[in-house]
A and B are shown apart, each in its own frame.
Chain A
Amino acid sequence: METRVRSVQSEPQSVGFAPASDIDSGVIPIRASGRGLQLAVDESRRSAALSAPVKARVESLNFFYGENKALKGLNMEIREKQVTALIGPSGCGKSTFLRCFNRMHDLTPATRYEGRIMLLPENMDLIAPIVDAIEVRMRIGMVFQKPNPFPKSIFENVAYGLRIRGVRSQIRIQEEVEKALRGAALWDEVKDRLADSALSLSGGQQQRLCIARALATNPEILLFDEPTSALDPIATARIEELIAALREQVTVLIVTHNMQQAARVSDYTAFMYLGEIIEFDETSRIFTNPGQKATEDYITGRYG
């Protein structure tokens, strides 16, 4: 199947995304002077997306569960401080792909990586055996489908990563915990009960606690694997708000079955099928005018 990847090159000319060139071609010459009219609410966001540097580059990534090739020659660029969504039917490899980024497969026997996932700017290959998986996970945090706080206090859950990192100063830890809880939009709800067990929180709060825990170590990339599928619509909306705010400070990669969620929170969307990336493009384009029939069929809910 032909893979259509519009944004793979990081050279300046890769700014030539189709929708942007619509504007260039003078179809909508509304911008008169200075900043001019903003055509759409997301316009500024979009130009930022087009010029964002690459944070991670996936190169010819194959992944095997034993003999079973689950990921087939993936190539993709993850842009810095953007939200990239991975969508596709069950078993298409999106979670497998996501888990490669922080070496979650290392614990599964008989698995094998091929290719590279380069973390930029220092060009560190995240899946190279010589690179320490713990180091990778410090820099690339993960939030799972079901909230999984440690059976400890709220405070200790967030402080945990800092202590592992060897931070000893109580004051520093307190500052960082507050910062992370604020970053996860949870501080105001828990500031008076930091010593309570994390398990006393509601599901949505627990999930935000897990996000705070991941944020505490200042990761460069945050991975979300179906972060809201176990939450009610209100808790889901809070997490989505949070993801939108998080992209100010961190690069986000999210796997979701909820297509509308991908449409709402992400800047880029990759559609995966049978271990391949079928289409990767700006989210607005994927959801209004995808280039591949398979993508269209999937997002509109048709038979393939």
Chain B
Amino acid sequence: MSTEGLTHHISSRYNEDLERLRASVLEMGGMVERQLQQAVGGLTEPDEQVIVRVAQEERRVNQLERLIDEDCSRILATRAPTASDLRLIITILKTITDLERIGDEGEKVAAIAARLANRERPNDRYRELRYLGELVIGMVHDTMDVFARLDTNLALSVLRRDRIVDEEYEAIHRQNITFMMEDPRLIRRALDVMWVVRALERIGDHAKNICEYAIYLVRGKDVRHTKLEEIEKELRAPKS
């Protein structure tokens, strides 16, 4: 399935509706990605105001989610979409839920970043958080690319990276437990770090979900709750 296949409806208004929807989802994805960059940036560069800007963006994301929802309902009601059109609408409806939650998680990160801003920072200035944050931002960025270009190979790459995120999460988790046991004065900071890592890990999961929806859109096959190896196999096989 190619994206240009989506532009040949007999009804040009239907085409326009679907195109506009796709564009809105990409716009929403762009906002969420910006939000994340600001939030993660706030972790490394002390910035008390980061939460204000991120929260502003978050309100716009929520607004867009509602608009897209409304458009989808209207198309379902008036066009009764089928086949790839139907899969597109379903994919969009689910995608924006995950995008909105990525936004929520980003806001959490920003709130903690603002709090950490006027507290003493560790020597490595949260190096591991920056690494994980950039990994996750890259995933979100590529996820929107997957949606824009319906690129299932890129989707696979995001799914693979989610495994790394999970491993990182485990590692940082263990590290912070060690810190807390060694020096109880660090508990407060370690807990904040844990909240951030948890949020980033969740963002990875949401990106993974969206990539799975995109695979459904392209292949017509539901690959949620499926082992990565099986998804790889499915994508190598010709479309059934």
Task: State the A residues within 8 Å of B (CB).
Answer: 18, 22, 27, 259-260, 263, 287-291, 295-297, 299-303
Contact = CB atoms under 8 A, between A and B. Distances in A.
B240 A288 contact: no
B217 to A, nearest CB: 10
14 contacts: A27-B225, A27-B226, A259-B80, A259-B82, A288-B87, A289-B220, A289-B221, A291-B239, A291-B240, A296-B84, A300-B9, A301-B14, A302-B10, A303-B8
A289 B91 CA distance: 14
Contact of B82 (A18, A22, A287): A287
B117 interface: no
B77 interface: no
A296 B240 contact: no
A16 B187 CA distance: 58
B162 to A, nearest CB: 19
Secondary structure at chain A's binding surface: helix, strand, loop or mixed? helix
A289 B87 CA distance: 8
Nearest to A29: B225
A300 B81 contact: yes
A27 B230 CA distance: 10
A287 B239 CA distance: 16
Contact of A300 (B84, B220, B221, B240): B84
Interface string B175-189: 000000000000000
Given A301-B9, A302-B8, A288 B226 contact: no
Contacts of A27: 222, 225-226
A90 to B, nearest CB: 14
Q: Most chain-A Cβ atoms within 10 A of its Cβ — which of B9, B84, B85? A: B84
Contacts, number: 47
Contacts of A300: 9, 81-85
B220 A288 contact: yes
Interface of B: 5, 8-11, 14, 80-87, 220-222, 225-226, 239-240
A296 B6 CA distance: 11
Contacts of B14: 301
A257 B220 CA distance: 25
A291 B240 CA distance: 7
A295 B5 CA distance: 14
A18 B83 CA distance: 16
B82 A302 contact: no
A283 B10 CA distance: 23
B3 to A, nearest CB: 14
A51 B11 CA distance: 40
A288 B10 contact: no
A18 B240 CA distance: 8
Contact of B10 (A22, A291, A295, A301): A301
B227 to A, nearest CB: 10
A287 B80 CA distance: 11
A289 B83 contact: yes
Contacts of A260: 80
Contacts of A291: 239-240
Given A287-B86, A291-B240, A301 B80 contact: no
Contacts of B11: 301
